[in-house]
Amino acid sequence: RRVHGGSTKMQPPDRRPTPPKHSPLLSPKNPPRIVQDDSWTPLGDSVASDSLKQILLSVKIADVIAKQIQRGVISAKANDTIGPVCKLLAENSIRSMPVFSSDESETLVGVVDFADVAAHVVKYTQEHQTQIILTDGHDFVESAGSLPVSEAIDQSHRNPTVLISQDASLLEAARTFSNKPRPRQLIVVRGDASNPVQRRQDVAAVLPPSILLKAMFDVVAANPSLLPNSVFSKTVSALKIGSKPVISVVKTQTVLEALDTMYQSKISGVAVLDDVSHTLVGNVSMSDIRHVFKKKQFATLINSCWQFIVESRLESIDETFPVYAVRDSTTLNDVAGKALATHVQHLYVVDNKMTAVKVLTLTDLLGVVVRETDGGDASPR
């Protein structure tokens, strides 16, 4: 564990689904809307100020996740098996949870998320008869899912354990997300985050980047005077954000192939392209595996990416069908709103031919807020 920024780093039957009648990229049936939940506390106009930086320094992490802290953290023990842990993640619609030792001390040993589980699935299926195991979901759970969750911790090699105090400011949290090693979530502790030993009673909550971005978005919405002169009014092009090249698969490749591409590239999501035009048609991420475990439909991992995208999200088309594409001319405020409304971790910057030219992650968005607002060392990737 390291101290950084005030924090401690601890081929199946061809069943072709009917595609949606509208574009899943730029023209949802209804405008995206941010779905409220009880994992965060809206700030409203109680934090009115003339300075975005001043607000982000004055608001504490505990202020925006008060309900989550009160409810208590969902966690696992090191000897719990992967199958039930994945079910717990899926049923609670969360992407990660802390893992504690199985002895009486209940010491924090790490954090596990669906990216780690996906990496475990990739490795397991490469070592066994993939088609047979995935077709027989029960056999898959009994074998791959019976290993202790401690063996899945950071299997993705992109999931460091990073601690931060509940009394830290939103700006400090954004700094921690945007600086190396760019954690996918922060473990919020009640006491000293520099303490190398944390027990279950010390851990207050898990803070994903989406909750922090929601809080910032809420601040700007509640203080309209901030928008014209803030980083949120600037465009993707002006801010020079986004990563190249865009790592992708074509829509006829299997979900398992997409997961393998992510695992080999050490990323958590890939663009899905049309086979012929190579235009962007969607995205598959490590966290999508939660749908597989929630419904125990492991055979879907050998379905095509396009079939998986349509079938796994068909129920949400009428409300907020995932909108993956933005333009260089899109403002940061609109990018953040789109990411939050569609619950995605990746957005793609496309050109006029719908070709994905750059990818934006939530940590990219937090990083540019730090760079522009705080003058910190977060830089575009």
pLDDT at 129: 55
Element (H, E) at 310: helix 305-313
Counting DSSP H helices and E strands in the chain, the numbers are 16, 14
Whether the link from the prior residue into 19 is cis, omega within 30° of 0, is no
What is the distance, to the nearest Å, from the Cα of residue 92 to the centroid of all Cα atoms in its chain?
A: 15
CB 251 within 8 A of CB 265: no
**Residue 40: what are its φ and ψ, rounded to 5°?**
-145, 165
Which residue type does 334 have? D
111: β partners: 98
Q: What angle do CA 20, 24, 26 make, to 5 degrees?
A: 135
Question: Distance between CA 381 and CA 372 in Å, rounded?
Answer: 15
pLDDT at 236: 96
Q: How many degrees, rounded to 5, is the angle at CA 40 between CA 183 and CA 149?
A: 45
CA distance 83 to 205: 22
- Residues 1 and 160: their CA atoms lie apart, in Å, by 9
Contact 144, 342 (CB under 8 A): no
pLDDT digit string (tens) for 16-25?
444 433 334 4
The 10s digit of each residue's pLDDT in 263-306 is 888 888 899 999 999 999 988 887 777 777 777 777 788 889 99
Contacts of 72 (CB under 8 A, 6+ apart): none
Look-up of token digits 């509208």: 22
**Amino acid letter for position 325:** A
pLDDT tens, residue order, the chain (381 aa): 444 444 545 444 444 444 433 334 443 333 333 333 445 455 544 444 458 888 999 999 999 999 989 989 999 999 998 878 888 888 888 888 999 999 999 999 999 887 787 777 777 767 665 544 455 444 554 455 677 888 888 776 667 889 999 999 999 999 999 887 788 899 999 999 999 889 999 999 999 999 999 999 998 888 888 888 889 999 999 999 998 899 999 999 998 899 889 888 888 889 999 999 999 998 888 777 777 777 777 778 888 999 988 887 665 443 334 558 999 999 999 999 999 988 888 899 999 999 999 999 999 999 999 999 876 444 444
Query: What phi and psi values does residue 190 have, to the nearest 5 degrees?
Result: -80, -30
